[in-house]
Structures are given as structure tokens and as C-alpha cells.
Amino acid sequence: MKSPFYTAEHDAFRDLLRRFVEKEIAPFAHEWDEAGEFPRDLYRKAAEIGLLGLGFPEEYGGIAADQFMRIVASQELARAGAGGVSASLMSHTIGSPPIARAARPEVKARVLPQVLAGEKISALAITEPGGGSDVANLHTRARRDGDHYVVTGEKTFITSGVRADYLTVAVRTGGEGAGGVSLLLIEGDTPGLSRTKLKKMGWWASDTATLHFDGCRVPAENLIGEEGQGFKIIMRNFNSERMGMAASCTAFARVCLDEAIAYAKERKTFGKPLAQHQVIRHKIVDMAQKVAASQAMLEMLAWRLEQGESPVAEICMMKNQATQTMAFCASEAVQIFGGAGFMRGIKAERIYREVKVNAIGGGTEEIMKDLASRQMGL
């Protein structure tokens, strides 16, 4: 449907990206999921059409992009129904913004052009084995030693953690609490860094890892921002991440809806197509209703962000709205497919396995509710 928020430029990029997904991702999504990875060359191909550079400074190879261009990118990628590919291919959208925003000029000039050209992979490392969303209480320690920091600790559930060339890592440089948290750029070949690949319920094509830092010496110039300012940078990063996740989840829900409609028209039971059974038609309408509501909320929030607002509570609620819509539509789609929905290879089955990671990543559903309530003064 036409929306007042999208211009001809948005539509042109949507067409370009749709062709890219149909040619370079969709035909291989199942194969890559089963293999547990996708070709590294996909980063370069994505960079060539401008996908990786969206929203980053032009001086480093980026492309100016508003909130709606980001929505287009997230939602067109989701059409392949391969969340693991999207997550790792776009891990730089959470790993590199802190670099672009707060790293030293020489670090930006060295790192960002390579990432945005698809030559290097960027990842964000915050979560630890002992805690996820409680960023203020992380334990990975970075001790200053001359012109280096010595980093010791662990990070886990890190998207692109296996292959990342650049890791934006939350560390403790000071005392307890948020004021002791800083960000460091740690290069993938740093001595003392080792990685353990993790197996997951979904997102099979996305490499996910536990990172082990055993006395890693990191140049002090790799500090992102000032010491003790890492928590603020991380929190700012979360808003963008949650909007991106909300856009993707709404689109994944729409993929489930589209697959369910197509199957319901084709599959016959009791002498007629599934779509002619009232109970199936009602399921499909319920799915369509939730997708439409989520998309409308998403676009209105994007418009408010473009006006300079910072609606943190609504962004948290938006993430929950989108993940709940995705969960509902994935479940109903698999139910409509019946036994076929339990078989590997269809988009709805993959998406069904990927529901929970979205409800957990970027801040759990429970934390989103608590943060939203605090923003509301409760």
C-alpha cells in the first residue's frame, strides 16, 4: 500500500534491494541455513548496491539515509525469510555506529571504509555469560598499562562473533556501575582473543560466538569516546537497534502472512481450498490486522524520530509489539501449513525458529516493559 512517508527515492531503493534479495539471498537461504553460514562475498555485493553504507558518514563511504530508508532496508532483507543472514550481514549497524560517532578520527578513517565496502566485518560485544541487558554491571575488565589497555573477560551470544574483524567491546575501566563502563575497538587478530562458535535454535546461518579475552593488549587510541562514557554510547545505540529489529520483525510477520495466504489458496481439504474454510480466513485476517497495526506504529515512530523527538518508551513498546506480531503470525502460518509447516525449507518454519531471539536480543520483552514504564514516570 502507498504510504505518505515514502518518496520516489525510497521506492527506487526498495526496487533495487528487492532485486538483490531475490537474486543473491532468497534462492540460497535454506542451503545457507543448513550449512550454518553464508559466503563472505555477500558483504561485498551488499556494499556495491549501497546497503552497508546506509546512514554512515559519506566521507567514509556511507550514504545519507533517513529512518524510512532504514525501514526499507530491514524489511526488504526480511523478504528472504532468513533472519540469520540479515543479522550477520548487518551486524555492522550495531557494531560500527559507536565508531562513527565517537572514535578518534584516525580510527574512523582506518576502520569504517573497509567495513562499509564489505571488506571487513564489524560486530558489537556487550552481553556476558553472567548477564545480558544489565550493561551497567558488566565484568570484562580493561586495565590501563602505558599506551595500551589489557583486557580480560568473556562476551557471549555475539552476532558475527566468529568472523568479525573489528569488535566494539564494552569493558569496565573504572569502578562499579554505569560510570565505570567504556568502549574499546578490539581487532580480530589481537593475541589473547579466542572464539567459541555457538549452536542455536534459529538464525543458523548467522555465526554466533563466545569471545574469550585473555590479557589482550589493545592500543589506547582504540578507546571509543572517553573513559567512563561507554554506557551512554551503548544506550543511544540501543534505540536504533530496536527500531531496526521492529522493522524486520514486522516484515517477517508479513512474510508468514503472504506464505499462509498462498498456501491456503492452493491446498485443498474436504473438497475445497483451505482459504474457503472460515476458521482459516479468520486466522489470516487476524494476522493481517496485527501486521498492519505494527507497520503503522513503526512508521509513525520513524516520523517522530525524523522530527527530532526521542520517544524511548514508545520504541520499547514498538519492539514488543513487533516481536509479538511476528510470534503470532509465525505460529498461525505453521498451523495453516499443518504438517508441511513442520518441515524444513519453508520460510514460515525458519521464521518460527527465529521468534525468540528477537524477543530477547536488544533487550528482553520484560526489560522493554520496565524501561517504558520508567520513561512514563511510573
Domain ranges within the chain, ordered by starting residue: 8-117, 122-230, 232-376
SS3 82: coil
- The superfamily in CATH containing domain 232-376 is Butyryl-CoA Dehydrogenase, subunit A, domain 3 (1.20.140.10)
* C-alpha neighbours within 13 Å on the C-beta side of residue 192: 14
pLDDT of res. 135: 87
DSSP letter, residue 179: G
Distance between CA atoms of 17 and 24, rounded to whole angstroms? Answer: 10
The third-level CATH classification (topology) of the domain covering 8-117 is: Butyryl-Coa Dehydrogenase, subunit A; domain 1 (1.10.540)
DSSP letter, residue 175: S
Which segments of the chain does DSSP mark as H helices, in order? Answer: 8-24, 29-35, 41-48, 67-78, 83-89, 92-95, 97-102, 105-116, 230-266, 278-306, 312-337, 347-360, 365-375
pLDDT of res. 130: 84
Q: What are phi and psi of 182, to 5 degrees?
A: -130, 170
Residue 241 appears among annotated catalytic residues: yes
Distance between CA atoms of 335 and 329, rounded to whole angstroms? Answer: 10
pLDDT of res. 1: 61
**pTM over 0.75, yes/no:** yes
Q: What cell was used for 224?
A: 571509543
Of 273, 308, 144, nearest in space to 219 by CA = 144
Length of the chain: 378
Distance between CA atoms of 97 and 224, rounded to whole angstroms? Answer: 11
- Counting as low any pLDDT under 50, the low residues of the chain are none
Strands 122-125 and 166-172: parallel
Q: Are 218 and 151 in contact (CB under 8 A)?
A: yes
> Same fold for the domain at 8-117 and the one at 122-230?
no
Q: Provide the 10 A C-beta neighbour count for residue 351.
A: 28
Handedness of CA 24, 199, 251, 304 (dihedral sign): negative
* Whole-number CA gyration radius for the chain: 21
pLDDT of res. 136: 87
Q: Return the amino acid letter for 157.
A: F
Q: Residue 168: enclosing H or E segment and its boundaries?
A: strand 166-172
Q: Are 75 and 59 in contact (CB under 8 A)?
A: no
Q: What are phi and psi of 145, to 5 degrees?
A: -140, 90
Of 352, 317, 365, nearest in space to 83 by CA = 352
Q: What are phi and psi of 88, to 5 degrees?
A: -75, -40
Directed axis angle between helix 8-24 and helix 67-78, to 10°?
30
Spot the catalytic one: 241, 314, 332, 354. Answer: 241
- The superfamily in CATH containing domain 122-230 is Butyryl-CoA Dehydrogenase, subunit A, domain 2 (2.40.110.10)
Q: Are 252 and 244 in contact (CB under 8 A)?
A: no
From the number of C-beta atoms within 10 Å of its C-beta (0-12, 13-18, 19+), residue 270 rates as exposed
